[in-house]
Amino acid sequence: MRRLLPQSLPAWVLLIVVTGLLAAQTATLVIASHGVASTGRSFDLFRLGERTVALSKALYSATPAARPGLLDDLATPPLMLSMSARPAVTSAIPADDELAELEDILVAKLGRDGVSDIRIREEDPAAVLRITEPRANDAEDEPGNVEEQLSEAASNLGRSGRFVVSVQFNDGQWLNFVSPVTPDPPVLTPENIPLYVGAAVFIILLSLWTIRQLTAPYAAFERAVKAIGNDLNRPPLPETGSREVRAAVRAINWMQSKVRDYVSEREHLAAALAHDLRTPVTRLRLRFELLKKKNETKALIADLAEIEAIIQSVVDFASHEPHKEASERIDMISLAEAICDDFPEVQMDQPAEPVRIVCTGRPIALKRCLTNLIDNAVKYGKRARVTVTETDGNVDVAIADEGEGIPADEIESVFEPFERRERSRNRETGGIGLGLAIARGIARTHQGDITMTPRAEGGMKVVLSLPKGS
């Protein structure tokens, strides 16, 4: 069931608008139809009463001998008149309260005009009076607009219900006549259906435009948040739009400012820590060099060098801001070759024909990223092989080593800061756990990523994927 429901805010709003539109139009049509039927019923009863009064007065005032001729003069289809000794409406009990009340009103009104009883029966359309069809020669002429409307009205009257009325005079004669019921006009006709459809289409199109205007800021928010993730120093969003949109923009700008302040504070803390530590470390180095025990002095100086390297790595990790460097078009094959030349244990696969595989990025940052990856492969895998390929619009740099490998469930953890697979305190074998974290951070700031998978023949394969340059 959930799959059938909309999955986005614009789709939900559109569904609500369309459903509301259909419900409103359906309710409007039902109410209009009921109102037309109620009005038509009242008009029919009024017209029937007036017709009964007029016919009764005209025929009662005529002599019995003159009544047949008068009936012929007054009878016009679909109105049928007759005089007889028996009523056409045999039942004296009205079918409903409306007809009973109308009978009482007419008897009271015509009592002084020789009317003693009135009976009214309403027949359904199955017993309607058939209207005479137009003559053949009339069909040969092109009918006008008024003639078509009159013909259609007559046809509708012929197919509608009818009232049968019997009026008894004081002399015992019954006036019987049939009066058609006005058919209810259809709410939907071929003429007004296009209006309904056009109105619905206009409302839906207007709703689509409105929904797009209302939801556009959300897409802008998504792009802005992603952009902030890539560059904290980007300009703040302009505070425009509705009150709610401006409030959301202010919140995003406030968040960006707070995160930027936090990162800046971290960088300053790392820089201050490094500055404060370098002074005593330098003094210790000078004092150790004055010692006479050469072997112990060398060991202490090596420890100090390791401390200095750790401090520098932490500072680099905390203060690395690749966005300060301008982007350029980079030939990844040339960059990888230059880095591999510094590692005798690394072999690079050369393409069969000279080719350039180009991506857009920051040269120094990407060089540092590749250097960290290759250095990590050499440190833990002894030897490595580098391959640069182009696939699906991406530039992939694959680094395969021959080490012991890493269990699949522990691969992601090696990208965490200060996470080391080698648990020893020897920096030459264990490192400090920042190389892969820095490398992945650089890759992701370039809209790329780094993945690591075990090799079937042993060791690991690390792939740096970057978007292809234009």
- Range scoring the smallest mean pLDDT among 80-89, 97-106, 114-123, 319-328: 319-328
Is residue 450 very low, low, confident or very high in pLDDT (cuts 50, 70, 90)? very high
Residue 305 lies in a domain: yes
Q: What average pLDDT score do residues 78-85 get?
A: 84
Residues 158 and 28 in one domain: yes
Report the pLDDT value the prediction gives residue 153, as an integer from 0 to 100: 54
What is the overall mean pLDDT for the chain?
A: 78
Residues 400 and 274 in one domain: no
d(CA 369, CA 441): 9
For the chain, what percent of residues have pLDDT higher than 70? 80
Residues 294 and 329 in one domain: no
Q: What average pLDDT score do residues 270-286 get?
A: 73
Q: At residue 462, does pLDDT exceed 90?
A: yes
Residue 168 lies in a domain: yes
Is residue 10 very low, low, confident or very high in pLDDT (cuts 50, 70, 90)? confident
Per-residue pLDDT tens over the stretch 119-157: 998 887 654 444 334 444 444 455 566 556 555 555 555
Report the pLDDT value the prediction gives residue 134, as an integer from 0 to 100: 41
Per-residue pLDDT tens over the stretch 394-428: 899 999 998 888 888 888 888 887 666 554 444 45
Q: At residue 442, does pLDDT exceed 60?
A: yes
Q: Which two tokens stand for residue 157?
A: 């009257």
Report the pLDDT value the prediction gives residue 71, as an integer from 0 to 100: 85
- Range scoring the smallest mean pLDDT among 24-28, 37-41, 185-189, 209-213: 185-189
Is residue 28 very low, low, confident or very high in pLDDT (cuts 50, 70, 90)? confident
Q: What average pLDDT score do residues 313-336 get?
A: 73
Q: At residue 325, does pLDDT exceed 60?
A: yes
Residues 33 and 173 in one domain: yes
Taking CB atoms within 8 Å and a gap of at least 24, the contacts of 410-416 are 411/452, 411/453, 414/452, 415/440, 415/450
Residue 442 lies in a domain: yes
Q: At residue 321, does pLDDT exceed 70?
A: no
Report the pLDDT value the prediction gives residue 159, as an integer from 0 to 100: 60
Instruction: Give how many domains the chain has, as a whole number.
Output: 3
Is residue 67 very low, low, confident or very high in pLDDT (cuts 50, 70, 90)? confident
Report the pLDDT value the prediction gives residue 166, as an integer from 0 to 100: 92
Residues 266 and 346 in one domain: no
d(CA 169, CA 57): 10
Residues 271 and 350 in one domain: no
AA identity, residue 271: A
Report the pLDDT value the prediction gives residue 151, as an integer from 0 to 100: 59
Q: Which domain holds residue 456?
A: 324-467
- Range scoring the smallest mean pLDDT among 349-353, 371-375, 379-383: 349-353
Residue 205 lies in a domain: no
Tell me the pTM.
0.46
Q: What would the 3-class secondary structure string for the chain be?
A: CHHHCCCCHHHHHHHHHHHHHHHHHHHHHHHHHHHHHHHHHHHHHHHHHHHHHHHHHHHHHCCCCCHHHHHHHHCCCCCEEEEECCCCCCCCCCCCHHHHHHHHHHHHHHHHHCEEEEEEEEECHHHCCCCCCCCHHHHHCCCCHHHHHHHHHHHHHHHCCEEEEEEEECCCCEEEEEEECCCCCCCCCCCCHHHHHHHHHHHHHHHHHHHHHHHHHHHHHHHHHHHHHHCCCCCCCCCCCCHHHHHHHHHHHHHHHHHHHHHHHHHHHHHHHHHHHHHHHHHHHHHHHCCCCHHHHHHHHHHHHHHHHHHHHHHHHHHCCHHHCCCEEEEHHHHHHHHHCCCCCEEECCCCCCCCCEEEECHHHHHHHHHHHHHHHHHHHCCEEEEEEEECCEEEEEEEECCCCCCHHHCHHHHCCCCCCCCCCCHHHHCCCCHHHHHHHHHHHCCCEEEEEECCCCCEEEEEEEEECC
Residues 358 and 301 in one domain: no
